[in-house]
Amino acid sequence: MSSQNDSGFSTFLASGAITAFLAVDIQSDGTIKACANGVRGLGILQEDAADANYARVKLWTAPGTFIVQASGTAITAATTYSIITGGYAGTVTTGNAAFIKGLSNGVASNGIALEFAKYD
């Protein structure tokens, strides 16, 4: 049976514990886990998800901006970033394309959650 999502949010079962505001991707069994380096995934997890529990994901197709955790990199407004290992926003490097744009400045602090806009 097929369904259609018009809200831009969907609920998935977590494979392993995942903290909020990380980019996640779907696996072949239908569960989600944090993205690998350079993988865009489905979207951003909106709440902490314990292993084998359901949590909401804001899909990349949803309107508006996204709160994303950054790696230990300082974030600068108007600069483009990519999704890096662990589902964090991080510096664009060879092999991983820019995907999101910072909308505010943030200090280099692991896990700092900042606002980004999708950048294609």
The yes-or-no verdict on residue 99 having pLDDT over 70 is yes
Exposure b/e, 81-98, CB count within 10 A at least 16 = b? bbbbebbbbbbeeeebee
Helix (H) or strand (E) holding 61: none
- Residue 97's pLDDT band, with cuts at 50, 70 and 90, is confident
Give this prediction's pTM: 0.93
Residues 63, 118: Cα–Cα separation, whole Å? 9
- What pLDDT sits at residue 26? 97
Q: Please, what is the average pLDDT of the chain?
A: 94
Residues 37, 114: Cα–Cα separation, whole Å? 19
- What pLDDT sits at residue 120? 73
